[in-house]
């Protein structure tokens, strides 16, 4: 464990009270979601980042569980001083619906039968996973996430969030992913599923009480999938045609090459931590994923509102850069503020789990490019100039604020009243708001940069600025406290 780690963490669990209606029309009751959090949620609940994991990941994205020899799967970017700084952000990661690491899935107990669901678990979609994540976010009373980030299947979840709940995040970062599964991607998943189906120990999905696990089928499925996570170059560099624990070819079907031994080890390790039925349902959800509308990805992204940074890997042949640029093109066609970054790596698809330097640079740069709209408070209190001073004082006390914009009946900014102004009313013995409010008020716009308005606040010694639209209507407030929290 290093100083940059979030340290010892534990997985928590949320029981969702209401049933979850799935995209298939089926209903799941008594859903539990496993999750971990790193950092603290600020008072405004504006610093939350949701991390979405890949196909066989889980909620343990960072830190260490007691007794573990390995940190969370994205330790390289989560923690103090890293791009996803736990001293700045409140980071949430949950195990997906259908998983086997604490969230309800096929190995969970079916409340109707008292036995594991097995193959009776309903077919789920990426959208269903997002429904459960949304319940978790609402549990923290978060109205809008700062950012949603995920790679591979996690990137699909990010895209689904952008489309289904466009107002619930300010920024989105889909990594090494696609807006729809291609025939080749579906084919690889189907071969993996058939490997599990063909294992006699699978027992039509009802193996939980037999004492046997479809190890051979699940191991083979993992070996096939793992090949797609690597690049030809990375395999050549790591293994070449080197032999495994021998000096010459055996001329039989025992393991000759290091790459064979490596894949066998990956398969054997995987069956110790993952459930075969979960693998079936989650890969099916990936296959069903398609955000196009009327065969148009442009139509599919029409409602997106968040600022987006799409990231690909140049050596990724499972989710190649072409699929990322399709996303970028469709977002640009909808005038969505979109940037694109390509990780240079010979690691292939897995680079988003490995390339620490490039990832921290790309994520930090995108997260630090903040506009006023990224930080401003939107649900604010205003007052009209025909109000009196006691009314303004009561509002400040009730809402725990020190600045209230003064507006016309159609919310156009005409001034601001501060706690200092209220003190002035006592000295002048005035109850008329017009007499004490500041009329030459400074203001900013939602698309102004944080750097620009920070300079303005320092120049004029201002601690709060109203945010207005092109018609001078007040849409929010931004304070020096918010900026300080961001920059600290």
Give the pLDDT confidence of 67-84 residue by residue, as tens digits.
888 999 999 999 999 999
Q: Is the pLDDT of residue 2 over 60?
A: no
Considering 287, 316, 350, 374, which one is annotated as catalytic? 316
Ordered domains of the chain (ranges, CATH): 12-230+272-370 (3.40.50.1820), 375-487 (3.10.580.10)
Q: How many CA atoms lie within 13 A of 461 on its CB side?
A: 0
Q: What secondary structure letter does DSSP report for 374?
A: H
Residue from 337, 331, 414, 403 nearest 373 by CA:
337
8 Å CB contact between 181 and 84: no
Catalytic annotation on 299? no
Which of 11-25, 126-140, 360-374 comes out lowest in average pLDDT?
Answer: 360-374
pLDDT in tens, 369-405: 678 887 888 889 999 988 888 898 899 899 888 899 9
- Mention every residue, 6+ apart, whose C-beta is less than 8 A from residue 183: none
Let me know if 316 is a catalytic residue. Answer: yes
Spatial CA neighbour of 185 closest among 216, 225, 215: 225
Q: Which of 152, 231, 278, 345 is catalytic?
A: 152
pLDDT band at 14 (very low <50, low <70, confident <90, very high): very high
* Catalytic residue selected from 349, 374, 403, 425: 349
278 is a catalytic site residue: no
Q: State pLDDT tens for residues 141-189.
A: 999 999 999 999 999 999 999 999 999 999 999 999 999 999 999 999 9
- CA 22 to each of CA 124, 127, 130, 279: distance values in angstroms, whole numbers, following the listed order: 7, 8, 11, 19
């Amino acid at each position: 464990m290093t100083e940059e780690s979030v340290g010892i963490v534990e997985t928590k669990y949320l029981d969702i009270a209401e049933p979850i209606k799935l995209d298939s029309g089926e209903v799941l009751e008594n859903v539990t979601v496993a999750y971990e959090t790193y950092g603290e949620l600020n008072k405004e609940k504006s610093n939350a980042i949701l991390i979405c994991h890949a196909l066989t990941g889980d909620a343990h994205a960072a830190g260490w569980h007691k007794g573990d020899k390995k940190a969370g799967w994205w330790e390289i970017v989560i923690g103090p001083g890293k791009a996803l700084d736990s001293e700045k952000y409140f980071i949430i990661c949950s195990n997906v619906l259908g998983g086997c690491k604490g969230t309800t899935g096929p190995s969970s107990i079916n409340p109707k039968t008292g036995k594991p669901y097995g193959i009776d678990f309903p077919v789920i979609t990426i959208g269903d996973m997002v429904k459960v994540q949304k319940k978790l976010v609402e549990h923290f009373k978060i109205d809008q996430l700062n950012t949603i980030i995920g790679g591979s299947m996690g990137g699909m979840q990010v895209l689904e969030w952008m489309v289904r709940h466009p107002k619930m995040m300010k920024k989105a970062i889909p990594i090494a992913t696609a807006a729809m599964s291609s025939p080749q991607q579906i084919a690889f998943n189907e071969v993996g599923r058939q490997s599990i189906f063909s294992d006699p120990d699978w027992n039509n999905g009802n193996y939980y009480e037999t004492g046997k696990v479809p190890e051979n089928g699940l191991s083979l499925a993992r070996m096939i999938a793992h090949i797609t996570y690597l690049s030809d170059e990375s395999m050549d560099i790591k293994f070449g045609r080197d032999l495994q624990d021998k000096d010459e070819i055996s001329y039989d079907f025992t393991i000759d090459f290091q790459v064979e031994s490596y894949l066998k080890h990956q398969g054997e390790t995987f069956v110790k931590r993952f459930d075969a039925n979960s693998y079936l349902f989650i890969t099916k959800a990936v296959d069903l994923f398609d955000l196009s509308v009327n065969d148009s990805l442009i139509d599919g992204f029409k409602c997106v509102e968040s600022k987006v940074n799409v990231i690909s890997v140049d050596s990724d042949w499972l989710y190649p850069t072409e699929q990322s640029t399709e996303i970028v093109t469709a977002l640009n066609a909808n005038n969505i503020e979109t940037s694109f970054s390509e990780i240079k790596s010979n690691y292939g698809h897995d680079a988003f789990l490995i390339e620490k330097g490039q990832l921290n640079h790309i994520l930090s740069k995108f997260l630090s490019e903040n506009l006023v709209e990224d930080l401003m408070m939107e649900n604010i209190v205003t007052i009209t100039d025909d109000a009196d001073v006691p009314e303004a004082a009561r509002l400040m006390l009730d809402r725990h604020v020190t600045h209230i914009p003064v507006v016309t009946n159609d919310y156009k900014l005409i001034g601001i009243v501060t706690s200092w102004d209220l003190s002035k009313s006592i000295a002048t013995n005035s109850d008329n708001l017009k007499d004490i409010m500041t009329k030459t008020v400074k203001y900013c716009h939602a698309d102004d940069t944080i750097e620009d308005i920070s300079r303005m606040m320092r120049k004029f010694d201002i601690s709060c600025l109203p945010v207005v639209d092109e018609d001078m209507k007040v849409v929010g407030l931004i304070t020096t406290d918010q900026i300080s929290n961001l920059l600290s």
